[in-house]
Amino acid sequence: MFPELNNLLNTTPDKAEQGKLTLLCDAKTDGSFLVHHFLSFYLKANCKVCFVALVQSFSHYNIVGQKLVWEDENKIAETSEPAHLTRDMTCALCPANCKVCFVALVQSFSHYNIVGQKLGISLTVARERGQLVFLEALKSSVDIFFQTPSEPQPLQFLREASAGDLRPLYAFVREALKPGDDEEASWRPPVLLVDDLSVLLSLGMGAVAVLDFIHYCRATVCAELKGNIVALVHDRGDAEDEENDLLLSGLSHQSHLILRAEGLATGFCKDVHGQLRILWRRPSKPTAQRDPSLTYQYKIQDKTASFFAKGLSPAVL
C-alpha cells in the first residue's frame, strides 16, 4: 500500500467506501503497481477479497505485498493476472480486513505473493485464514485442457467451441464472497479484484460478454453485499481494436473512480516513470458539471512509490 496515493485519493483503510467500482487503466506503461496497492489496502481494511488473477502468479503478489509492509494477518480470495496497477490494488485490499476475491488471468499465485511480500503483506496467510480467495487462471487453464473436471470450472469457456459464457466465472465470484454465518461479524464488505479484464478479450471473449460479467458482479458485490470492485484494463492505443475500446468505454461510464497510468510523452526518464490521472465520477448522477480530476507524475521504488506535480520531481529540483 502506498501512503502517498492514499493521500491523493483522500482515503485510508479505516474509512474505505462501499459500493464503488474502480477502474485501473494503463497506456504505454505498466499499471500493475495500482493493483498491488489496492490489494494491500483492502486486506488492511479487513475486507474479504476475491482476486481473479489472469496474468500473474500468487507468489508474485505475495512478495510485493510484504514489501508494502502489511503487518496484520488478513483474509483474501484469489485469481491471477497482470503487474503495476495490479500490485497496488492487491496490497490495498488485504490490510483493510476485507474479504478479497482475486481473479488472476495471467500470472500465478507465486508472482502476486512475491510482490505482496515486498509491500509488507503475506497473501499465503490471508488465503489460509479465508480472507483471500484467489483464482489463478494459469493453473486453472492447465486443469481444464488436460483433465476432465467433474464440475463446471470458472474458466470453462476455454474448452467450448463458441466462447462467450462467463456465467461459471460469475458463479465462482458469487460463491467466494457469499457471507457465512461465522464471517458476518469479522469481515468488512467484500472486494472483487480482477487483473486484468483485457486478457478475456485475448482469450476470445467479446466486450459485451465481459461488460455483462461486470454488470452482474456489480449487482451482487456492490449493490447486494455493499462491497467494491477493482478491475484493470489495458489501453492499447490501437484504433482498430474496437472490442478493447468498447470495453474501456463501457467500464469508464460505470466507474466511480478511474486511475489511468500513462507513459511520458517525452520518453524514458530514470527519475520519473510516468504520470497518473485520477478522475472521480458520479455515474448515477449525470450533471453538466465536469467531473473533478488530478494529474501527478510518479516514480516506482522497490517498496513504495512517490507522487509529485508535473515538473516537480526531486531529481529536477
Q: Are the C-beta atoms of 110 and 58 separated by less than 8 Å?
A: yes
Is 171's pLDDT higher than 60? yes
Give the pTM. 0.85
- Say what the pLDDT of residue 286 is: 59
- Three cell numbers written together for 283: 455515474
pLDDT greater than 70 at residue 85: no
Q: How many residues does the chain have?
A: 317
* Maximum average pLDDT range among 15-29, 61-75, 107-121, 152-166: 15-29
| Least confident piece of the model among 59-63, 232-236, 251-255 | 59-63
Mean pLDDT, residues 227-249 taken together: 89
Q: Are 104 and 80 in contact (CB under 8 A)?
A: yes
- 240 exposed, middle or buried (CB, 10 Å; 0-12, 13-18, 19+)? exposed
**Average pLDDT of span 268-292:** 78
pLDDT recorded at residue 13: 87
H/E element, 87: helix 84-93
CATH superfamily of 3-308: P-loop containing nucleotide triphosphate hydrolases (3.40.50.300)
Residue 264, pLDDT score: 86
Q: 184-220 burial string, b = 16+ CB within 10 Å, else e?
A: eeebbbbbbbbbbbbbbbeeebebebbbbbbebbbeb
Domain spans of the chain? 3-308
For the chain, percent of residues with pLDDT exceeding 70: 78
Alpha carbon distance 72, 95 (integer Å): 6
Q: What is the pLDDT of residue 116?
A: 73
Between residues 252 and 75, the one the model is more confident about: 252
| Confidence check: pLDDT of 295 > 80 | yes
- 297 phi/psi in degrees, rounded to 5: -95, 160
pLDDT confidence tier of residue 140, bands split at 50, 70 and 90: confident
- How many C-alpha atoms does 200 have within 13 Å on its Cβ side? 34
Rounded to the nearest angstrom, the gap between the alpha carbon of residue 196 and the centroid of all alpha carbons in its chain is 7
Reported as a pLDDT band with limits 50, 70 and 90, residue 277 is very high
CB-CB contact of 235 with 25 (8 Å): yes
Q: Does residue 170 surpass a pLDDT of 70? A: yes
pLDDT for the residue 38: 92
Nearest to 28 by CA among 256, 234, 255, 300: 234
Residue 144's DSSP bridge partners are none
Mean of pLDDT values over 15-21: 89
Average pLDDT (137-163) is 72
| pLDDT single digits (tens) 183-205 | 555 778 899 999 889 988 988 88
Q: What is the mean pLDDT of residues 268-282?
A: 88
pLDDT winner (highest mean) among 42-46, 87-91, 154-158: 42-46
At residue 91, does pLDDT exceed 60?
A: no
Which contiguous run of DSSP H or E holds residue 112?
A: helix 110-117
Residue 81's pLDDT band (cuts 50, 70, 90) = very low
State the Cα–Cα distance between residues 142 and 156, nearest whole angstrom. 11
Looking at residues 224-237, what average pLDDT do you find? 91
